[in-house]
Amino acid sequence: MTKPPIASFRSVSKHYGTHYALCAFDLDLREGELLTLLGPSGCGKTTVLRLLAGFETPDSGEILLDGRTLAGVPPEARNVNTVFQSYALFPHLSVFENVAFGLRMRKLGGAEIRDRTESALRMVRLEGLGGRRPLQLSGGQQQRVALARALVNRPRVLLLDECLSALDYRLRHDMQLELKELQRQTGITFVFVTHDREEALSISDRVAVMRDGRIEQLGRPRDIYERPANLFVAQFAGESNVLEATVTAKPGPDALTVSVAGTPVTVQTDRNFVIGEKIALVLRPEDLHAHDDATGRGGLAGRVLERTYRGVTLDTLIALDAGPRIKACEFFREDAPTLDHPPGQRVRVGWTPGWEIVLPHDAET
Ligand SMILES: Nc1ncnc2c1ncn2[C@@H]1O[C@H](COP(=O)(O)OP(=O)(O)O)[C@@H](O)[C@H]1O
Ligand SMILES: [Mg+2]
């Protein structure tokens, strides 16, 4: 049983001057999901939110909420709320009144306003701080007020535009967890916008990776990271070593032998390639391990350029004999004393067969 989408973009285009911010954009939002729009600056993420919120109108195409067109429906009648990066709180009003503002505008009764405002403040763990002014709160607390102010309206869809970007690293991680929890508790559909891949992967039910006004791939975080649709998605979703290679043989179903600058490597893929075709071999740093040249066999030969101690991991930058530099990122293990390879040492770089990502060679990226 599939529920109808809570909101849909159907072939929506939007341009500014001669530039298309969105181009025949399609998206179905599922009820109760946390969907993230992930993409570089300028790819159209904010435009998607502004169109759904009603601050912009599409040039063509249609946007639906609960099966009804939003054409001609003003922002205040849409039951969609937005939380921005800049908290946009009223500095002269108390926290309570900031949160209650929307309800007062809707002329609800005093008791209902109090109950709903207090409940929203509890949800974001600000109970007891309703009497303060926004500037008497920390950045993280102000962001929570902005969240409460949106949640108090019980929107059908909550839009969050880079809303954690202004917070420092620790707080940002805490807030990511809180947001996710809040989303589960309330069951409200969240559309979250970020250009931070870790943030996108860690909080989302689904991620839409965008480029130039289009969705390149829409899927669960794990699919995006482990089964990227193309090189752009692979590189945007995570740190990647990309090696150019040429298909030399097809030893079996789903297996290819490729040549990485003369070194034969067997890889697995369910995509179709022809012999002689150029491919991109994508290797995640955490999937790679380097071992001493003398002891190792297979893999790709190279020389250690640099090591970076990072506490949890040891990162090794290796210049492959095949040309490119690649990075291996290894966890410390008591039983792997040979992890630490000094600069200059010859090593072979290997990985668990099948963990490589094989993609068509893309001249653009
Ligand atoms: N009001 C506007 N006037 C002109 N160009 C705009 C306007 N809003 C957005 N754009 C352009 O549309 C494209 C998409 O913008 P935006 O949706 O804000 O991207 P993102 O949020 O992914 O950074 C960008 O090239 C941006 O410069
Ligand atoms: Mg933006």
Q: What is the per-residue pLDDT for 261?
A: 86
Q: Is any ligand 1 atom within 6 A of the Cβ of residue 159?
A: no
Q: Please tell me the distance between residue 198's alpha carbon and the centre of ligand 2 in angstroms.
A: 17
Q: How many angstroms separate the CA atoms of 319 and 325, rounded? A: 4
Q: Please tell me the distance between residue 195's alpha carbon and the centre of ligand 2 in angstroms.
A: 9
Q: Is residue 365 part of a domain?
A: no
Write down the H helix ranges in the chain.
45-53, 95-105, 110-123, 139-151, 169-186, 197-203, 221-226, 231-237
The strand pair at 34-38 and 189-194 is best described as: parallel
Task: Assess contact for 237 and 197: CB atoms under 8 A.
Answer: yes
Angle at 177 between CA 238 and CA 88, to 5 degrees: 95
pLDDT band at 294 (very low <50, low <70, confident <90, very high): low
Ligand at shortest distance from the CA of 14: 1
Structure-block tokens of residue 163: 């809303």
Minimum CA distance residue for ligand 1 atom 6: 16
Sign of CA dihedral 27, 45, 82, 221: positive
Q: Is residue 59 part of a domain?
A: yes
Q: What is the per-residue pLDDT for 167?
A: 86
Which of 235, 251, 286 terminates a domain? The answer is 235
Quote the number of domains for the chain.
Answer: 2
Q: What is the per-residue pLDDT for 58?
A: 98
pLDDT band at 91 (very low <50, low <70, confident <90, very high): very high
Minimum CA distance residue for ligand 1 atom 2: 16
For 290, residues 6+ apart whose C-beta sits below 8 A from its C-beta are 304, 316, 318, 328, 330, 341, 347, 348, 349
pTM, 2 dp: 0.93
Q: Is any ligand 1 atom within 6 A of the Cβ of residue 46?
A: yes
Mean pLDDT of the chain: 93
Minimum CA distance residue for ligand 1 atom 1: 16
Q: Is residue 117 part of a domain?
A: yes
Predicted confidence (pLDDT) per residue in 93-134, tens digit = 999 999 999 999 999 999 999 999 999 999 999 999 999 999
Task: Assess contact for 257 and 265: CB atoms under 8 A.
Answer: yes
- Domain containing residue 112: CATH number: 3.40.50.300
- Domain limits for position 142: 7-235
Ligand at shortest distance from the CA of 161: 2
Q: What is the per-residue pLDDT for 325?
A: 95
The strand pair at 288-292 and 278-283 is best described as: unpaired
Same domain, 41 and 151: yes
Residue 276: φ, ψ to 5°: 95, -15
Q: What is the per-residue pLDDT for 336?
A: 59
Predicted confidence (pLDDT) per residue in 315-334, tens digit = 999 999 988 999 999 887 66
- Domain containing residue 266: CATH number: 2.40.50.100
Structure-block tokens of residue 306: 């640099």
Q: What is the per-residue pLDDT for 333?
A: 67
Q: Is residue 87 part of a domain?
A: yes
